[in-house]
Amino acid sequence: MRLIDVSNDQEIHDLANCINNLAPKLGKESILKLLLSHFAEREKIPTPKNSPKTSRPKIICMKDVQPRPVAWLWQDRFPLGRISLLVGQPGLGKSFLTCDMASRVSTGTPWPDGTTCPKGNVLLITAEDHPEDTIRPRLDAHRADNSRIHLLSGVLIKMSGQASEKEYETVFSLADILSLETALAEIQDVKLVIIDPIGSFLGGRTDAHRDNEVREILTPLSQLAERNGVSVVMVAHRRKGGNGTADESALGSRAFTGVARAVWHLSKDPDDPERRLFLSGKNNLAKQPDGLAFRIQSEPAYIHWEPESVSMT
């Protein structure tokens, strides 16, 4: 056992406040797992190969499992409580598409195929678009309720052992899953989290091309999505060249498509360079739906969806 002196640790006091905020929403077991993960990373506690330990299998009898239907943010396309992946080459309009999705969720506007869209809050985590000259104008063009859309722009940290109470801002990464959990608890009623692009938020110690390292980051994110009933949409670029299926074209490890329960691809129509095709890839939770098509029009630019579905995949 290793004892850690936390009597003068400002971080501990910050975590205590965080736990008080999360306690009504999360169970003790979930909070304990988050804390153990946090301190294991912070203290770099070694695990000797010969250290004594006991273990036993955790077995669930399927008779005790209560079946329930899949909950959907966008019927048969983007599930609630799960991770989905949107893949496309740079410059095709992935961020326009996610702005359209965020706007519809913020107002409860039906989806382009006419299915119901649940109204709720949205959390954006983005590294490439500026909030003032890009994100807000696009949301306005898509008639969003901006009071329901929030941007996680960083993490504020108080340095322990300093006389001043000044906070320092650092970049957010998914290695800090506790900050994301706290953000969801503070905002409340979040239906959609958009991470654009996913590769920018893995943390400096994660190799995006190593399956085990990517899964180590995405597994807690998947658990967070299920706990909060939120649809997490990861945006990924497409690798240049290469063979195989469309799902295998996602840049980085195959763990991205492996963990995602639904994968969607944004492509340029080979016969019409201004037309975008929104096509289904992997879908573990529903039959494969038809694709859709749209164009980016007007100024300020917004997405104009075509009424007819697209059958190509």
Give yes or no: residues 23 and 147 share one domain: no
Q: Is 198 buried (19+), middle (13-18) or exposed (0-12) by CB count in 10 A? A: buried
Indicate the number of domains in the chain: 2
Give yes or no: residues 166 and 25 share one domain: no
Instruction: Give the pLDDT mean for 134-155.
Output: 97
Instruction: Give the pLDDT mean for 262-288.
Output: 95
Cα pseudo-dihedral 296, 302, 306, 311, rounded to 10: 60
Confidence of residue 253 (pLDDT cuts 50, 70, 90): confident
Please state, in angstroms and rounded to a whole number, the distance separating the CA atoms of residues 197 and 128. 8
Q: Above 90 in pLDDT, residue 137?
A: yes
Encode pLDDT of 57-101 as tens digits. 999 999 999 999 999 999 999 999 999 999 999 999 999 999 999
Give yes or no: residues 130 and 20 share one domain: no
Contact 306, 293 (CB under 8 A): yes
CATH code of the domain in which 122 resides: 3.40.50.300
Position 4 scores a pLDDT of 47
pTM strictly above 0.95: no
Please state, in angstroms and rounded to a whole number, the distance separating the CA atoms of residues 281 and 289. 10
Contact 191, 249 (CB under 8 A): no
Give yes or no: residues 39 and 83 share one domain: no
Q: Above 70 in pLDDT, residue 238?
A: yes
Buried b (16+ CB within 10 A) or exposed e, 258-271: ebbbbbbbbbbeee
Q: Containing domain of residue 196, as a range? A: 71-305
Give yes or no: residues 37 and 158 share one domain: no
Is residue 57 one of the residues assigned to a domain?
A: no
CA distances from 80 to 10, 73, 149, 229, 256 (A): 36, 5, 17, 6, 18
Cβ atoms within 10 Å of 66's Cβ, excluding its own: 4
Query: Among 65-69, 120-124, 202-206, where is mean pLDDT lowest?
Result: 202-206
